[in-house]
């Protein structure tokens, strides 16, 4: 089984997601776990499990192949990570980066996370490491809408609705 964990392209370590990926690899030695993301402490790599591979950055083609071949997909709450996952037929597990852990400069990922979780387009983490496949026929259908513009319109309408509700408060 292949697990792909994507923490984004920022040069800010996402330690909670990295720790989760390493822990999952240790608990599931039958899985091949690939982590894509910035890691500040290279000495940590000496303690990685044998079934764990860390790649700081990857080109778009390798990124898409990694998503396409994954059985389980885990990512941060970045738009590119989530929508590429959905486009390639996954309902990803998502963990937003938070400012309080110095993973980002603000909590903007929470808004997208909350919206997509409510619409059942993503799964939330942590799920006590009981991770099942994220391949999803519904997301493949959704991907076709993404490219003909329907999903963009639906999301923009939904985001506008949420913003109007907040403004009215």
The region of weakest confidence among 15-24, 33-42, 139-148 is: 139-148
Note the pLDDT tens digit of each residue in 54-90.
998 899 899 999 999 999 999 999 988 998 898 888 9
Burial class (CB in 10 A: 0-12, 13-18, 19+), 52: buried
Bridge partners (DSSP) listed for residue 90: 135
Q: Which two tokens stand for residue 98?
A: 């938070």
The region of weakest confidence among 7-11, 16-20, 76-80, 151-155 is: 151-155
How remote is the C-alpha of 93 from its chain's centroid?
Answer: 6
Q: How many domains does the chain have?
A: 1
Q: Which two tokens stand for residue 75?
A: 């990512």
Note the pLDDT tens digit of each residue in 122-163.
998 876 656 778 887 776 666 666 556 566 666 666 666 766
Q: Which two tokens stand for residue 124?
A: 């939330």
Query: So what's the pLDDT on residue 121?
Result: 85
Range of the domain at 31: 2-168
pTM for the model stands at 0.79
Note the pLDDT tens digit of each residue in 93-112.
999 999 898 888 888 888 88
Q: List Cβ neighbours of 125 (8 Å cut-off, separation of 6 or more).
A: 20, 74, 93, 94, 95
- CATH number reported for the structural domain that contains residue 11 in this entry: 3.40.50.2000
């Amino acid at each position: 089984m292949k697990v792909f964990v994507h923490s984004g392209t920022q040069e800010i370590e996402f330690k909670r997601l990295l720790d989760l990926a390493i822990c999952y690899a240790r608990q599931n030695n039958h899985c091949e776990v690939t982590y894509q993301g910035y890691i500040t402490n290279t000495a940590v790599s000496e303690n990685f499990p044998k079934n764990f591979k860390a790649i700081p950055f990857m080109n778009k083609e390798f990124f898409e192949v990694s998503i396409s071949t994954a059985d389980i997909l885990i990512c941060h709450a970045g738009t590119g990570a989530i929508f590429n996952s959905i486009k390639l037929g996954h309902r990803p597990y998502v963990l937003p980066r938070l400012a309080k852990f110095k993973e980002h400069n603000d909590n903007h990922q929470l808004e997208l996370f909350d919206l997509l979780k409510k619409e059942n387009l993503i799964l939330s983490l942590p799920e006590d490491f009981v991770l099942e496949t994220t391949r999803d026929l519904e997301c493949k259908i959704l991907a076709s809408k993404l490219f003909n513009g329907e999903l963009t319109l639906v999301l923009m309408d939904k985001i506008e609705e949420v913003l109007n509700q907040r403004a009215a408060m």
